[in-house]
Amino acid sequence: MLTDKITLFDGEHIEDLGDGVGVVVSKQHTFGTDAMLLANFANPKRNDVACDFGSGCGIIPFLWLRDKKCSEITAIEIQETGCNQMTRSLLLNETDKITVLNRDLKNIDDLKAGNFDVVTMNPPYKIENGGIKNDEDFATIARHETFCNMDDIAKSASRLLRFGGKLCICQRPERVFDVMYSMRKNGIEPKTLRFVSKKGDTQPWLVLIEGKRGAKNGLKVLGNLVAYNNDGTLTEEMLSITEKYRK
């Protein structure tokens, strides 16, 4: 990676995603397992046009870049610091496949309607005024529905998606109805659902949901994705998702 082409600020470093792709991360804008699972679950095709809402450091677009997914990717992030990190990651990886927009996802009317095959979002998990808020603004925005809620996400995604295009979201299991209700209200039919558990005998901590614009009803529930074996090692499926990052 051409680290001499960018400047890193205090608290920032480059995460090597494998296969020569890296992303600039910081305390404010980093990533976790949920984003990696969502990128894998969405599984866009090589020629898909994709959009990632609330991109943060850009982990989902850059994982797709690494895996040679998508012909075009638009990364939308409301926080300027995240966009700055993503812009430097573009220089780092010498790519023009990803377009970074410092924008509120509710204000993207200039993007061509019906042009996208895939939209993703790792959204805030807590409803506005729900739970204890972090004192730091960036954390509040990332974890609480401060600037957008599920209806906003589904409405904007519905406008961007072509007929049959898909919206993929990860959320906490207790909010699965909120996600599916907002999808259906905005013309996106929930089609695939998968829960993620830390171990086979524990309650799910995450749910992955795919909806398709204009599809007929009928929901497919996949078997749980289990992250860890009883001895604490990663399961074979989890290893297959994260192995490139761990090299």
CA angle 147, 148, 153 (to 5 degrees): 155
What is the pTM (predicted TM-score) of this model? 0.91
**pLDDT at 139 (0 to 100):** 46
**pLDDT at 128 (0 to 100):** 53
**pLDDT at 53 (0 to 100):** 98
Residues 6+ apart with CB under 8 A from 223: 194
For the chain, the first-to-last Cα distance in angstroms comes to 15
**pLDDT at 127 (0 to 100):** 76
Q: Which residue ranges form the domains of the chain, and what is each CATH number?
A: 3-246 (3.40.50.150)
How many residues are present in the chain? 247
Let me know: does 209 contact 171? Beta carbons within 8 Å.
yes
Let me know: does 6 contact 84? Beta carbons within 8 Å.
no
**pLDDT at 131 (0 to 100):** 46
**pLDDT at 4 (0 to 100):** 72
pLDDT tens-place string over residues 117-164 = 999 999 998 775 544 444 555 444 444 345 799 999 999 999 999 999
What 3-state DSSP class applies to 127?
Answer: coil
**pLDDT at 11 (0 to 100):** 96
Residues of the chain with pLDDT under 50: 1, 130-134, 138-145
DSSP code of residue 9: P
CA angle 15, 19, 20 (to 5 degrees): 60
